[in-house]
Amino acid sequence: MQLPPDIERILLDEATIQRRVHELAAQISADYADVEELVLVGVLKGSFIFLADLARRLTVPHSVDFIALSSYGSRGAARSDAVRLIMDTRAPVTGKPVLIVEDIVDTGYTLQYLVRNFQARNPASLRTCTLTSKPARHEVAVQLDYLGFEIPDVWVVGYGLDYADRYRTLPYIAALKPEVYRAAAH
């Protein structure tokens, strides 16, 4: 397969991702079998592809909402005091079962912020679902209820993940060539 020039190698191919998303959806559907409506909260922008695939495989009633955050610095440069909510969910989540859907947990500061923020809204329950996590990069303990894949500490793109807003729509998750992001950092 011809890879875009900035891509070093594929870490998770399309079939592997789809299989795992299917498993996660089955597990979530079983765990929420009794709820009236599960509220999926996707974190923009990175989660939009994962959320779309996951939600379409759920067999329990659910609604989809989104939030957007801004952090000073890009992925991997987050600090606990640097995360800000710039777009909130459209509907209140008080009293509802909420599942936060993320594409990646890097340092963990974003998810830590989200869990605290949503806990304060008194949902009926609160869990997190992230497609990927980089354990080697975690700086804070995070609540990972549903996890797709643990991945190594390399810059990944595809399936929602970006480099400078590019490559989000690749069907696979791939490692970027280190020289690409190193050159940008200097």
> Do 138 and 107 touch, CB atoms closer than 8 A?
yes
* Nearer Cβ to ligand PRP (60/115): 115
Q: Write b or e for each residue in 47-77: b if 16 or more Cβ atoms lie within 10 A of its Cβ, otherwise e.
A: bbbbbebbbeebebebeeebbebebeeebee
State the catalytic residue, choosing from 13, 106, 153, 162: 106
Task: Tell me the C-alpha distance between 126 and 144, whole Å.
Answer: 11
| Ranges within 29-88 binding ligand PRP (CB under 6 A) | 43-46, 71, 74-76, 78
- Using rule CB under 6 A, residue 106 touches ligand PRP: yes
Write down the least CB distance from residue 173 to ligand PRP, Å: 13
The set of residues, in sequence order, having a beta carbon less than 8 Å from that of 32 and lying 6+ positions away, is 38, 60, 97, 99
| Ranges within 139-168 binding ligand PRP (CB under 6 A) | 162
Q: Of residues 32, 50, 66, 109, which one binds ligand PRP by CB under 6 A?
A: 109
Q: Which amino acid is at 32?
A: Y
Classified as helix, coil or strand, 135 is helix
Write down the least CB distance from residue 104 to ligand PRP, Å: 5
13 a catalytic residue = no
Write down the least CB distance from residue 27 to ligand PRP, Å: 22
* Nearer Cβ to ligand PRP (46/97): 46
Neighbouring-strand partners of residue 181: none
Task: Tell me the C-alpha distance between 21 and 15, whole Å.
Answer: 10
Write down the least CB distance from residue 171 to ligand PRP, Å: 17
* Nearer Cβ to ligand PRP (84/182): 84
Positions annotated as catalytic residues are 106
Binding site for ligand PRP (CB under 6 A): 43-46, 71, 74-76, 78, 102-110, 162
